[in-house]
Amino acid sequence: MEYDGGLEILLLMDGIEHFLDNGYWWKIEAREVEKSKSRPHGIRYCLTFHDNHNTRIFGMDNTHIPKNKRKGYHGRIVKFDHVHRDEKDKGTPYVFVNAVQLLTDFLKRVEEITEQL
């Protein structure tokens, strides 16, 4: 895996919460972890967007195996990267390219959702 210069930016953003005027808000959690087959980029992240009732309405993370992948897992290597497209989505695979792309994809989707409100 090649060097990801945006990784430092993502790690510095750990713990940031940003509140919008309408009560919606987003949060970024990111920390370094040992590289593994499930987290080959060496980070554990959770980026979430919440409505004004604190319900997650969109999220991107690699903190767990996506729930829709648990059936039939039986020891196969499953990358943890996934997206929750809405509050009911149990996890759709996400192709992690690098930290900058992750942040770009997250903020772009937050903007799209916000424009629809």
Annotated domain spans of the chain: 6-115
Q: Does the pTM of the predicted model rise above 0.95?
A: no
- Encoded amino acid at 28, one letter: I
CA–CA separation, 106 and 48 (whole Å): 8
Question: How does pLDDT run across 11-62, given as a tens digit for each residue?
Answer: 999 999 999 999 999 999 999 999 988 898 899 999 999 999 999 999 999 9
Separation CA 67–CA 46 (nearest Å): 15
CB within 8 A of 52, min separation 6: which ones? Answer: 22, 23, 24
